[in-house]
Amino acid sequence: MNQKPTHFILTAAAVALLAACSQPVPLQQPAPDQRSVSPITAVPAPAAPPPVPAAAGASPVAVQGYRAKQASPLIGRPHVFVLPSGSDKFTDKEANKPVLVSEQPVSTFSADVDTASYAFVRRMLTAGHVPPPAAVRVEEMVNYFPYRYTAPADPARPFAVGTTVMPSPWKAGNQLVHIAIRGYDIKAAERPRANVVLLVDVSGSMGPPDRLPLLKQGFRLFASQLRDDDTVSIVTYASGTRVALEPTPGKDRNRIVDALDALSSGGGTAGGDGLQRAYELAERNFDKHAVNRVILATDGDFNLGITDPRQLEKFVADKRKTGVYLSILGVGQGNLNDALMQRLAQTGNGNAAYIDTLLEARKALSEELASTMFPIANDLKVQVEFNPAKVAAYRLIGYETRMLERQDFKDDKVDAGDIGAGHTVTAIYEITPADAADKLVEPLRYQGNRKTQPAKRAGDELCFVRLRYKRPGENTSRLIEHPVTASSVHQRLDSAPEDPRFAVAVAAFAQRLRGESPVADMGYDDIARLADGARGPDRDGYRAEFVRLVRMAEALDKVGVAGR
């Protein structure tokens, strides 16, 4: 081997070191105070492919589905990238920029409860790889975690809204507005029955242990949560489609499990045809008093039948109007079409998750079943109006693929996020105080002396939060409003509650992985210490796991410098 042997040896050594730091953790339930336990790996990921030496003078690398930039997503330094081969596809959206309140005082976006990005990032970091920036969606990273937000007391008002304003840890003088939304939680005995069709990709690529075998284990957990009056069907697709299980009541769990155990992989990927077959089965057993949902589980593209993303999106949108929703579970790495999964899940009034371990399957298909399966509201939109007398500029952190126009907020025909029972939604704005406006832009020559006068009723409000949502089955939205006052601002970050501080740490980490300049001066050690100080009870160890991932990224950062 004569192609830069030193470069190759250093990279391989780094991967070996990082792999040694990320040994699988046994599947166990941590005690409430067992802060070192992390729920990462119950099913081992396949071994990473060997690193490929970079050619001398190489230009930015094209990696069959995302770009690896010469400028590192681990900010400020050039790095050696060890990138897995494959054709994973992600939607690459530019991060939101600061917006002047004087020019655009209102921000509007659709709620998002997807969690796929966090699980994929965790898998890559655990394997010793830097995730591609496009795979890191800040809002999905933040919304992955359980939060103890105040719950609504009355199902007639199904959302409680809380806000926390605190100093920004990455920009002195700026503040963060943390918006916490929690949905009403229904008791198990009160939930509607479910009519579910499991649409399972059994193509040839689904054979490895982290794909179909892992899904089968996850669906076993799902089956254990079924009520006797629920109905489950199974449709599979490969080179063709097949009904592997006709509609079966939940009380026949053994029959459902036997059908799952019999699934095996082989053939092409006729996903579009599979979707048609699954929806047909869901519609045949449609119950207007039940939750009617297709759950698609796959590792990649549709390459047979309907393959055009626009056609698939239109098909799913039409089916959504019939009352059958779509959720998507992604698995595997190498041909994951995350971009398509996100589009279809958003269009289908569902959520997108990524299953990388049995523990993640347990989280998505068992622990959080109510919050992903049983909607309490459709088309949840959030709108924030900023007071120009208090705020010069704002930046919504994340939600780039969920942005809406101002007029979309009141337009009940515009589709938005759907929220399940007990689910939480977190959004974070970074704001620049009004007295710092001259530091952002040059004052206007002809309007520089004009002072904006807020409405008298605004008082000391920083901003005003509005939510619009529809009850399932209704076509007219309802409104919830919540003022955010300047008098409620925490003067010190460490005086803010644990949940908002932890969410801020996750947002900082996600932005840093994406290579976003606002957090360039906040190091991994700062992020880890902020998160560690806000872990709280952490019953299942998710927050301890997050701190470990930050430390892994820090190690990769240092390895990258050494590699040069």
- Quote the Cα angle for 518-522-524, to 5°: 130
Cβ–Cβ under 8 Å, residues 142 and 129: no
Domain boundaries of the chain, sorted by first residue: 188-373
3-class secondary structure, 494:
helix
What torsion do the CA atoms of 267, 268, 274, 276 make, to the nearest 10 degrees?
-140
Residue-wise pLDDT for 460-515, tens only, equals 899 999 999 999 889 999 999 999 998 889 999 999 999 999 999 999 999 999 99
Other CB atoms closer than 10 Å to residue 261's CB: what's the count?
Answer: 11
In terms of C-beta density within 10 A (0-12 exposed, 13-18 middle, 19 or more buried), how is residue 161 classed? buried
b/e burial code for range 410-428 (CB count within 10 A of at least 16 → b) = eebebbbbbbbbbbbbbbb
Q: Which pLDDT value is given to residue 335?
A: 74
- The beta strands (E) that lie in 45-132 are given as 61-62, 67-68, 99-100, 106-110
Measure Cα distances from 114 to 226, 342, 385 in Å: 22, 9, 25
Question: Cα(449)–Cα(135) distance, rounded to whole angstroms?
Answer: 45
Lookup result for tokens 């371990």: 357
Residue type present at position 344: L
Q: Which pLDDT value is given to residue 417?
A: 87
Residue type present at position 131: P
Lookup result for tokens 């959030």: 382
Lookup result for tokens 């599947």: 27
- Two tokens at 271? 């996903």
Using 70 as the pLDDT threshold, list the residues of the chain that sit under it: 1-86, 270-271, 301-308, 447-458, 561-564
Q: Which pLDDT value is given to residue 460?
A: 87
Q: How far is CA 226 from the centre of its chain?
A: 25
3-class secondary structure, 349:
coil
- Two tokens at 110? 């659709």
Confirm whether pTM is higher than 0.85.
Answer: no
Residues paired with residue 417 on neighbouring β-strands, in sequence order: 380
3-class secondary structure, 331:
coil
324 secondary structure, DSSP code? E
- Quote the Cα angle for 73-77-80, to 5°: 75
Question: Cα(289)–Cα(193) distance, rounded to whole angstroms?
Answer: 8
Question: Cα(141)–Cα(512) distance, rounded to whole angstroms?
Answer: 12
- List, as one string, the DSSP characters of 8-19: HHHHHHHHHHHH
Question: Cα(269)–Cα(271) distance, rounded to whole angstroms?
Answer: 6
User: Class assignment of domain 188-373?
Assistant: alpha beta
Q: Residues near 352 by Cβ (< 8 Å), separated by ≥ 6?
A: 114, 115, 116, 327, 328, 329, 330, 341, 342, 345, 346
Helix runs in 253-388, H state only: 253-261, 271-284, 309-320, 338-347, 358-362, 369-373
Lookup result for tokens 């709280």: 536
Question: Cα(386)–Cα(101) distance, rounded to whole angstroms?
Answer: 7
Cβ–Cβ under 8 Å, residues 25 and 39: yes
- The beta strands (E) that lie in 82-174 are given as 99-100, 106-110, 159-167
In terms of C-beta density within 10 A (0-12 exposed, 13-18 middle, 19 or more buried), how is residue 195 classed? buried
249 secondary structure, DSSP code? E
Measure Cα distances from 433 to 170, 390, 440, 451 in Å: 15, 6, 11, 15
- Quote the Cα angle for 99-103-106, to 5°: 70
End-to-end Cα separation, the chain, in angstroms: 19
Q: Which pLDDT value is given to residue 58?
A: 32
Cβ–Cβ under 8 Å, residues 271 and 299: no
Question: Cα(429)–Cα(178) distance, rounded to whole angstroms?
Answer: 7
Q: Which pLDDT value is given to residue 12?
A: 39
Question: Cα(102)–Cα(388) distance, rounded to whole angstroms?
Answer: 6
Lookup result for tokens 């919050």: 371
Measure Cα distances from 279 to 222, 306, 350, 379, 520 in Å: 20, 14, 14, 21, 47
Question: Cα(326)–Cα(403) distance, rounded to whole angstroms?
Answer: 21
403 secondary structure, DSSP code? B
Q: Residues near 224 by Cβ (< 8 Å), separated by ≥ 6?
A: 253, 366
